[in-house]
C-alpha cells in the first residue's frame, strides 16, 4: 500500500513562504480532504509531491520515493491540478490516447476512463469546445488513466453540475474502498464532509489539523439540541429553572446548547411535557473549519464573523 509522506517540507517563493515545515502522511483506504484558505499552500504542496516544483527544504515522497524516482509514474500516481492544461485542438479521446501510448497503456483503457467519467459520447469532440465541467471530467479521466494507487485532485468538483457532484463523491469513496490513497483539495465544505474520512487543514503554509473528520467536528464544534413541544412556555420555564442556555425561535422550537437529545428528552418526559420533535444538531464542517482557520485567513472580508469562535490551538504544529 502506498502513502504520501511529507516531511519538514518548506517552499519559499522569494520572500513568500508558501509551505512552512509541513509534515503529514496521507494513508491508503480513505479519502483525505485537503483544506485551507486561499493561499494556504495546498496547490504548492501538491506540486511539490508531484515533483513539479523543488522544495526549498524537506521531502515529499510517494511510497517512500520522490515522484521523479518512480518508474511508471502514471500507473502509480494520477493527478488533476489544472483542468485547462489539455491541448484544446485535440479531441478528448486523442488527448488520452497520446498519453496512454507514451505510458505503455492500451486504447481499451482510454475507452474505460471516458465511460467512467461520463465522456463516452463526447470523446470525439475537440477539448476547446468543452465546458469547465467537461474539462474537469477529462482531467479526472486523465488522473485515472493509469489505474493508479495514489490519486491527487485539486478542486475536482469545480464547475461540475449537481449530477457531477454526486458522481465525484461516489467515485472518490469507491477509489478509497479499493484501497487507494486519495487526496482531494476543496473549498466546498458540504462537499468535503460528504466524501472525506480524514482531514488535513493548512493555514499560511502550516499544518493546522490532521485528524479524522468525526474527531475534527467533535473537537471544534458545539453540540446543540433542537426541541419542539406543544407546551412551549412550560418547556421554556423548565429550561430556565434547570439552568440551560436555550433560545426560542419563531416557530416555537427551542435550541439548547451543550446538551444531548437524550438528556433533554428524559427531562421533558419526567415533567410530562409532550415532545413533538427532538434532534441532536451536530456542528457542520463549515463551522468547525471557520473556527479553526479564522486567524490564518489571508483574504478574509471585514464583515466575516465565524459561526464558532473557539480558539485555534490544539492541533497546531
Interface with ligand ATP (CB under 6 A)? 13, 16, 18, 36, 38-44
Report, in Å, the least distance between residue 167 CB and ligand ATP. 23
Report, in Å, the least distance between residue 214 CB and ligand ATP. 24
Give 149 or 210: the residue with its C-beta nearer to ligand ATP: 210
Per DSSP, helices labelled H in 180-284 are: 189-195, 213-220, 232-241, 261-270
CA pair distance 153, 140, nearest whole angstrom:
8
Report, in Å, the least distance between residue 267 CB and ligand ATP. 45
Q: What are phi and psi of 52, to 5 degrees?
A: -85, -10
Give 82 or 257: the residue with its C-beta nearer to ligand ATP: 82
Max CA separation in the chain (angstroms):
75
Report, in Å, the least distance between residue 175 CB and ligand ATP. 22
CA pair distance 204, 39, nearest whole angstrom:
7
The 3-state DSSP class for residue 64 equals coil
Give 28 or 33: the residue with its C-beta nearer to ligand ATP: 33
CA pair distance 253, 243, nearest whole angstrom:
18
SS (H, E, C) 159-210: CCCHHHHHHHHHHHHHHHHCCCEEEEECCCHHHHHHHCCEEEEEECCEEEEE
Give 11 or 224: the residue with its C-beta nearer to ligand ATP: 11
Give 30 or 42: the residue with its C-beta nearer to ligand ATP: 42
Which residues, other chains included, contact 267 with Cβ-Cβ below 8 Å and sequence gap of 6+? 238, 242
Amino acid at each position: 500500500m502506498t502513502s504520501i509522506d511529507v516531511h519538514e517540507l518548506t517552499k519559499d517563493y522569494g520572500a513568500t513562504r508558501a509551505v512552512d515545515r509541513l509534515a503529514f502522511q496521507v494513508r491508503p483506504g480513505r479519502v483525505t480532504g485537503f483544506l485551507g484558505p486561499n493561499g494556504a499552500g495546498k496547490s504548492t504542496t501538491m506540486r511539490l509531491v508531484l515533483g513539479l516544483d523543488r522544495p526549498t527544504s524537506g521531502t515529499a515522497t510517494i511510497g517512500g520515493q520522490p515522484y521523479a524516482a518512480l518508474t511508471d509514474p502514471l500507473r502509480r500516481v494520477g493527478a488533476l491540478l489544472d483542468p485547462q492544461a489539455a491541448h484544446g485542438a485535440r479531441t478528448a479521446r486523442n488527448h488520452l490516447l497520446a498519453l496512454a501510448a507514451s505510458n505503455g497503456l492500451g486504447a481499451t483503457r482510454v475507452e474505460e476512463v471516458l465511460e467512467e467519467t461520463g465522456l463516452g459520447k463526447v470523446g470525439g469532440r475537440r477539448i476547446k469546445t468543452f465546458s469547465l465541467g467537461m474539462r474537469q471530467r477529462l482531467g479526472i479521466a486523465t488522473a485515472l488513466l493509469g489505474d493508479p494507487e495514489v490519486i491527487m485532485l485539486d478542486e475536482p468538483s469545480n464547475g461540475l453540475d449537481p449530477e457531477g457532484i454526486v458522481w465525484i463523491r461516489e467515485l472518490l469513496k469507491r477509489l478509497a474502498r479499493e484501497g487507494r490513497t486519495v487526496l482531494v483539495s476543496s473549498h466546498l465544505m458540504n462537499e468535503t464532509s460528504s466524501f472525506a474520512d480524514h482531514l488535513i487543514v493548512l493555514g499560511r503554509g502550516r499544518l493546522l489539523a490532521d485528524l479524522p473528520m468525526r474527531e475534527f467536528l467533535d473537537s471544534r464544534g458545539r453540540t446543540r439540541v433542537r426541541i419542539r413541544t406543544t407546551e412551549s412556555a412550560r418547556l421554556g420555564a423548565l429550561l430556565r429553572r434547570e439552568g440551560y442556555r436555550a433560545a426560542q425561535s419563531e416557530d416555537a422550537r427551542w435550541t439548547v446548547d451543550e446538551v444531548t437529545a437524550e438528556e433533554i428528552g428524559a427531562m421533558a418526559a419526567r415533567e410530562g411535557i409532550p415532545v413533538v420533535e427532538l434532534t441532536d444538531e451536530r456542528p457542520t464542517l463549515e463551522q468547525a473549519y471557520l473556527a479553526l482557520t479564522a486567524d490564518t485567513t489571508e483574504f478574509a472580508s471585514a464583515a466575516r464573523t465565524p459561526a464558532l469562535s473557539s480558539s485555534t490551538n490544539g492541533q497546531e504544529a
